[in-house]
Structure 1
Amino acid sequence: MEYPISITPHAERTVTDTKSIPFGKVPTEHMFVAEYRDGKWQNARITPFHDLTLSPLALCLHYGQTVFEGMKAFMMEDGRINIFRMEKHYDRFSKSLDRMCMPRVPQSLFTEAMHQLVQLDSKWVPEEADGSLYLRPFMIATEDRIGVKIADEYLFMIVASPAYQYYANPLKIKVETHFSRAADGGTGMAKCGGNYGGAFFPTQMAKEEGYDQVLWTDSKTHEFIEESGTMNAMFYIDGTLITPALSGSILDGVTRNSLLALAREQGMKVEERPLAVKELKDALEAGKRVEAFGAGTAAVIAPIASIAVDGKAYDCYVGEDATMFTLKKELYDIRTGIAPDTHKWNYVL
């Protein structure tokens, strides 16, 4: 089925210094909007960026039917623009929508909307090596009715903003053994708004204690590592790249998936398995070279300088020759066309 997209042009880029813009603060000139009503998608359009008008009864404001993705577009070496791993992001977005009882966006509409929006606002894609255009597709329930029910009306939207390094310095984190991010059978594997709102309080407490983020543990025993802040957690110990296996409480990270593929191609030993806090603590206490980092679209790779377990901080390796930086460079080279895209990850405009 065809989904024609109407486009209302706007003045060209008005901001010239994108690097001074805080992450997610200044949008590009345009946004994409489509409406779901009467069981079908309609009125797909790209318009100048503007505020929304919602009824105070809109179900998204009361019962949490909100889902989003985080994607990036990159300036390539030859001047073309690459939207990285479009299909993988679409697949994850669709699974999140399924979990939240929200209608899927047809893949053809998702792809064409992303293509047209990025092409229209292409002058916002930073040319600097550490820059990208952050893309936020999201859906909200808009039916105006107070009552606990699955909504019948939705908005699917895409907005964009220039982005640079998410974390300026290596992180200090603490292992969280009281609060939980997600539980088996819950929505941990979905990118829905409630997962992030529920994480604010323990994260704020950690920041008040002098940490940058928390290292989440499983909700049943708090003995096994799950995620780091809003990122997948990865560790390089004794020549092995270790990350918790995917589960109902761990997000299927696109950056995580990409790094694991690259590591295996390099012949690196990779283990997707439960990682006990005790195992990590023992390695740190034994003086082993432990690389710890978060992996996510916004941060790409966020080095972890220290991990606090039961109040005691242990240093992790963040030297320039760290394996995590080798993986980051290889990922960067593929995204920007320096290295061949043998995985067909790039969607080049």
Structure 2
Amino acid sequence: METQALTASFTVIPNRHPASDEERWLAMENPVFGKVFTDHMARATWRDGEGWADHRIVALAPLPMHPGAAVLHYAQQAFEGLKAYRHEDGSVWLFRPEANAARLAASCRRMALPEVSEQDFMAALEGLIAADRNWVPGTPGASLYLRPFVFASEPSLLVQPAHEVEFLVTASPVGAYLSAGDTGVPIWVSRGYHRANPGGTGEAKTAGNYAASMLPQQEAKEHGCQQVLFLDAKEDTYVEEFGGMNLVAVRADGSIVTPRLSGTILPGITRDSILTLLRDEGRNVEERDLALTEILEGVESGEIVELFACGTAAVVTPVGRLASEDFDVTVPRVEGESVADAVLARLTDLQYGRAEDPHGWMRKVLDAPEG
């Protein structure tokens, strides 16, 4: 009943030309992350003095946009990322969507955008998933990635919060985001470039933070690395996060250390979930300032035995190498099951319904089909 009540607040206008079964199967066979989109999108419009209106599920289509739209000039925007999982019985579930709703609201506050209520956030997701239920993969390791976003659409070159804003949600069937292979992902440690500054927008999920990571990301690829690890902007000493993921280190005694949420790091929902699962195991988990030198010396001495990245897209991905202009360090793979492997299995078993959900993180959005 709850799902029906929420979904009813978004009017569904079906796509008159949806993908055929064959087109959908081909698109979902081996999708590149974020390159394949479903038939529909959710949408609502906010106007100053009126609030949110025109809640609807419509055909996926290009957005008509004035060249003076404020987002194109001043990047007044916020977004989220989460996944829907098909369980063995065919039902579809979301993982901690309330946390994504709260983080989007926090990002909107920081970017001077109107907040999307949790009810509207959930109704948009559930309405879109219901409309595009056949796009939710059932293959192992695959899921439906959902991208809610809010942006300033008002045609205005005034440097001020926009008076007209759009909220949309798109959906994409996805597989793995990063390929770690047998050796782990190679990481370039950026020196001189920073993702965020104290007092800036680092803890908001907004486009400008990712734009700032593009040049260092390009630099990483030139050095044979897949991702960038950023240091703090004040001292250029402490590790913060990757371009779109958080960092976790495992010590030889099994304890965990990860950079604290200092206001310049995005509070990852996957990060929080993993730390909770690790604490459930009885592991000591420290959230504190973590110097790059501590990591390098720890890897060299054997005090740090694992490094891994975590995030909605990447889930849990081992780091196999840290490199920069003045060092190149290999992180040896753990013999047998690593902490990263174990926590990945625990998390994904929970998400795909293969294990108990002791924290109540999963939310059903579609029942199993009858018959």
CA distance in 1, matches of 2:111, 2:45: 17
CA distance in 2, matches of 1:136, 1:327: 25
Consecutive unaligned residues of structure 1, counting only runs of 5 or more, are: none
2:9 to 4, 7, 18: 4
1:152 to 163, 182, 206: 163
CA distance in 1, matches of 2:332, 2:273: 22
The residue number in structure 2 matching 1:331 is 347
Equivalenced residue count is 349
The residue number in structure 1 matching 2:266 is 251
1:232 to 246, 265, 282: 246
1:189 to 203, 209, 213: 203
Q: CA deviation at 1:311?
A: 3.0
Does the 8 A contact of 1:281 with 1:309 survive in 2?
Answer: no
1:117 to 124, 128, 133: 128
Q: What amino acid sits opposite 1:338 in the alignment? A: R
Does the 8 A contact of 1:19 with 1:164 survive in 2?
Answer: no
The residue number in structure 1 matching 2:221 is 207
Q: CA deviation at 1:310?
A: 4.7
Q: What amino acid sits opposite 1:111 in the alignment? A: M
2:111 aligned with 1:103: no
SS at match of 1:56: coil
Q: Which moved more, 1:55-64 or 1:167-176?
A: 167-176
CA distance in 2, matches of 1:144, 1:273: 43
Q: CA deviation at 1:329?
A: 0.5
2:24 aligned with 1:15: yes
CA distance in 2, matches of 1:90, 1:247: 21
Task: Give the TM-score normalised by structure 1.
Answer: 0.96
Q: What are the Cα deviations for residues 92-121 of structure 1, in whole angstroms up to 9, with x where unaligned?
A: 110000000000012111111111111221
Does the 8 A contact of 1:292 with 1:317 survive in 2?
Answer: no
SS at match of 1:243: strand
2:55 aligned with 1:44: yes
The residue number in structure 2 matching 1:312 is 327
Does the 8 A contact of 2:105 with 2:117 survive in 1?
Answer: no
Consecutive unaligned residues of structure 2, counting only runs of 5 or more, are: 366-371
Does the 8 A contact of 1:289 with 1:317 survive in 2?
Answer: no
The residue number in structure 2 matching 1:344 is 360
1:27 to 31, 37, 43: 37
Runs of 4+ with >6 A deviation = none
Q: State the identity as a percent.
A: 38
SS at match of 2:25: coil
Alignment of 1:212-223 (within 5 A): 212-223=226-237
Q: What are the Cα deviations for residues 105-164 of structure 1, in whole angstroms up to 9, with x where unaligned?
A: 121111111111112211111112210100000011011111111101000000000010
Q: What are the Cα deviations for residues 49-105 of structure 1, in whole angstroms up to 9, with x where unaligned?
A: 111001011101001101110110001122210111110000111000000000001
2:307 to 292, 313, 320: 292
SS at match of 1:259: helix
The residue number in structure 1 matching 2:368 is none
Does the 8 A contact of 1:304 with 1:318 survive in 2?
Answer: no
Does the 8 A contact of 2:317 with 2:340 survive in 1?
Answer: no
Does the 8 A contact of 2:101 with 2:117 survive in 1?
Answer: no
Q: Which moved more, 1:49-58 or 1:210-219?
A: 210-219
Q: CA deviation at 1:309?
A: 5.0
Q: Which moved more, 1:313-322 or 1:33-42?
A: 313-322
The residue number in structure 1 matching 2:369 is none
CA distance in 1, matches of 2:196, 2:333: 29
- Gap change, CA 1:324 and 1:119, over 3 Å in 2: same
Does the 8 A contact of 2:247 with 2:310 survive in 1?
Answer: yes
Q: What are the Cα deviations for residues 286-319 of structure 1, in whole angstroms up to 9, with x where unaligned?
A: 1345211111101101211111255322121334
- Gap change, CA 1:121 and 1:283, over 3 Å in 2: same
